[in-house]
Structure 1
Amino acid sequence: MKPKLSVVKIGGNIIENESALSDFLRDFAAMDGYKILVHGGGRTATRIADKLGVPAQMVGGRRITTRETLDVIVMVYGGLANKNIVSRLQGFDCNAIGLSGADGNTIVSDKRPVKDIDYGFAGDIKQVNATAIKVLLESRMTPVFCAITHNKEGQLLNTNADTIASEVAIAMSEHFETSLYYCFEKKGVLRSVEDDNSVIAHINTETYGQLRDQNVIADGMLPKMHNCFNALQRHVHKVYIGLPGMIVGKEKLFTTLTL
């Protein structure tokens, strides 16, 4: 039987909220078994970029990563956000190690090809080094990945944190029974965006198609759900979406995704 592994992704809504971040990190540190944390930090990066006079460029909700923007992202994701999280986890007796995809050659990406839009220095994941990550886990270290990968030719790349979490979970499923948690500001996938309690408790492949056709799942939730079902189809055990408290059972209302 494979040992269990939890891959948990948090976004800027948690990182930006001091109280929420502290509560989450305490709960994360208390999780049983092997675990990996993946974090973004786009809101902080946008705020600091603005202070530095680097304009944020967005198309369809996606960031255009210019060379100047990449510098800010590396500073914020790999430095400020990542090391703040790692140091605070150490305070909760969780032996965390902060990583980008370049560290240990853990996540290799290709620069996104230019089609209709040039996204700049954005990375599409090509390979995850599960062996290196497994070594860290078995050494009782908890990897904390920021949303930066590399192309193995000296270039860092801004990479979607949801996708990093999904691809890491997929790669680690060869060695572990892996569960993937997406923590955000809602209690789960909602049937009605106006009702925070209208959580859909369980979604499988069939009901996902129905909800998408009914436009219940739309807009920004679509790429997240794509990552979820891509992970499930590639041997991730289960995927959960909801508030951070779900990872230790404090929150009883969340969405579970299965095939």
Structure 2
Amino acid sequence: MEKLAIVKIGGNIIEDETSLVEFLNLFSKIEGKKILVHGGGKRATHIASKLGIVSKMVAGRRITDKETLEVITMVYAGLVNKNMVAKLQANQIHAIGLTGADLNSIQSDKRPVKDIDFGYVGDVKKVNHTAIDQLIAANFTPVFCAITHDGNGQLLNTNADTIASQLAVGMSALYETSLYYCFELNGVLKDFNDKDSVIKHINAPIYKQLIEEGSISDGMLPKLENCFDALQQGVTRVYLGNTSMLSQENDTYTTISL
């Protein structure tokens, strides 16, 4: 089975032009077939405030009303996505920027209202791996932003980590798929105050133990839940770390396996 790398890039790197250029250079050097996934929440919040739109967050998650969805679409699918595509073209990567609506590639259901109404937020329902593979087979490198659609004309704001993991699951029907979560830390940390305390390997029993110890909490919990969900559905390996893990010279990152 041919290999495919799916790389998700975090918001702090997107916001730092030097870090972004360095990351895209490393991404461009990955051999073989690849897909890039990105968000852009910090940029969306900044531009929304310039337009007089107050960003509402609950437990770290954005409430996406109609006005906010318009800003997110402009920022994610426009400004951030096309900036990355242009820089990848400069690296001789034949990139194409996409939302989940393009090629009907990622469909979502609007999140049902329980305790909180998140608005126009989507939970991924289906990945059209056949359509995405047509791009890959034609030597395009897809660059997905964190927007999906419901199949009935409605765009939906969708968590970029989840998009990356569900893309990896969908594409694992056709490829030996590896998923890389690139962010500002060196990996999953045993002690959050010690940036060098990287846990190099986590499997299901170790994960359970780390939760019981309280070593993993807050934002890392949903990220790791996505990792194990992807592995249980056919993804080969998942890696978490800073962007240098994409190079051959760095071995300090976290590998997740079952």
> TM-score, normalized by length of structure 1?
0.99
Structure 1 residue 10, shift from structure 2 partner: 0.3
Say whether the 8 Å CA contact 1:243–1:251 is kept in structure 2.
no
CA distance in 1, matches of 2:141, 2:228: 25
CA distance in 1, matches of 2:60, 2:12: 16
Match of 1:153 in 2: 152
Match of 2:243 in 1: 244
CA distance in 2, matches of 1:56, 1:227: 25
Which amino acid in structure 2 is aligned with residue 242 of structure 1?
G
CA distance in 1, matches of 2:200, 2:138: 36
CA distance in 1, matches of 2:63, 2:212: 30
Match of 2:205 in 1: 206
Match of 2:164 in 1: 165
Match of 1:98 in 2: 97
CA distance in 2, matches of 1:32, 1:190: 28
Say whether the 8 Å CA contact 1:100–1:147 is kept in structure 2.
yes
Give the root-mean-square deviation of aligned CA atoms: 0.5
1:9-20 matches, within 5 Å, as 9-20=8-19
Deviations 1:57-103 (A, max 9, x none): 00001000010000000000000000000011000000000000000
Say whether the 8 Å CA contact 1:182–1:240 is kept in structure 2.
yes
Match of 2:254 in 1: 255
CA distance in 1, matches of 2:218, 2:27: 29
SS at match of 1:77: helix
Structure 1 residue 43, shift from structure 2 partner: 0.2
SS at match of 2:74: helix
CA distance in 2, matches of 1:115, 1:16: 33
Structure 2 residue 175 is matched with structure 1 residue 176: yes
SS at match of 1:46: helix
Match of 1:62 in 2: 61
Structure 1 residue 247, shift from structure 2 partner: 1.2
Match of 1:24 in 2: 23
Match of 1:125 in 2: 124
SS at match of 2:31: coil
Which amino acid in structure 2 is aligned with residue 249 of structure 1?
Q
CA distance in 2, matches of 1:131, 1:105: 10
CA distance in 1, matches of 2:153, 2:53: 23
Structure 1 residue 249, shift from structure 2 partner: 2.3
CA distance in 2, matches of 1:249, 1:117: 44
SS at match of 1:241: strand
1:25-44 matches, within 5 Å, as 25-44=24-43
Which amino acid in structure 1 is aligned with residue 163 of structure 2?
I
Match of 2:191 in 1: 192
SS at match of 1:29: helix
Match of 1:110 in 2: 109
Q: Unaligned 5+ residue runs, structure 1? A: none
CA distance in 1, matches of 2:173, 2:211: 30
Structure 1 residue 252, shift from structure 2 partner: 1.9
Match of 2:141 in 1: 142
Deviations 1:145-167 (A, max 9, x none): 00000001110000000000000
CA distance in 2, matches of 1:251, 1:73: 34
CA distance in 2, matches of 1:246, 1:212: 25
Say whether the 8 Å CA contact 1:5–1:34 is kept in structure 2.
yes
Structure 1 residue 45, shift from structure 2 partner: 0.2
Structure 1 residue 250, shift from structure 2 partner: 3.4
Structure 2 residue 83 is matched with structure 1 residue 84: yes
Structure 1 residue 205, shift from structure 2 partner: 0.5
Deviations 1:159-203 (A, max 9, x none): 000000000000000100000000000000000011000000000
CA distance in 2, matches of 1:170, 1:97: 21
CA distance in 2, matches of 1:224, 1:65: 21
